[in-house]
Amino acid sequence: MHPFRKAVEAGDLSAVEEMLADDVVFTSPVAFKPYPGKAITAAILRGVSRVFTDFRYVREIAGADGRDHALVFTAKVGDKELNGCDFLHFDEDGRIDDLMVMVRPLSAAHALSEAMGAQFERISREAAEAMDDRA
């Protein structure tokens, strides 16, 4: 089992954050522009953990060189069931420098967009506080 999967399934968001490179780029399934940086990526992942219910990984796919990994998942947002995939890329130091998430179907993506939109003030505040703590 991949360490990222293990940490996510255990709800260990601190361990997940430790796996992120400082310059990680998060590409959301519902936002047009990617989010650069560890602080905002970690805050978004915490927000997702508050929004998703019945989350579970169902499949892992690893690239031959070990620097790419895909984790297929299922979850619910409200009463909408979704399927998704976390695409991870690792830098030379073994940290995640690219995290792209895809979800389907469209109705669940809309539900996710609304639920995360409701979280975004808190997510932005958490990211700003983390940036202040690092400064």
CB atoms within 10 A of CB 45: 19
Return the DSSP state at 30: S
Q: On the CB side of 54, how many CA atoms lie within 13 Å of its CA? A: 10
Tokens describing residue 91: 């830098």
The C-alpha atoms of residue 66 and residue 115 are separated, in whole angstroms, by 33
pLDDT of the residue at 131: 82
Per-residue pLDDT of the chain in tens (135 residues, 90 and over written 9): 889 999 999 999 999 999 999 999 999 998 889 999 999 999 999 999 999 999 999 999 999 888 999 999 999 999 999 999 999 999 999 999 999 999 999 999 999 999 999 988 998 898 888 887 776
- Nearest CA among 54, 13, 53, 40 for reference residue 122: 40
CB atoms within 10 A of CB 34: 15
| Residue in the block written with tokens 């909408």 | 80
Any idea which residue has 């508050």 for tokens? 50
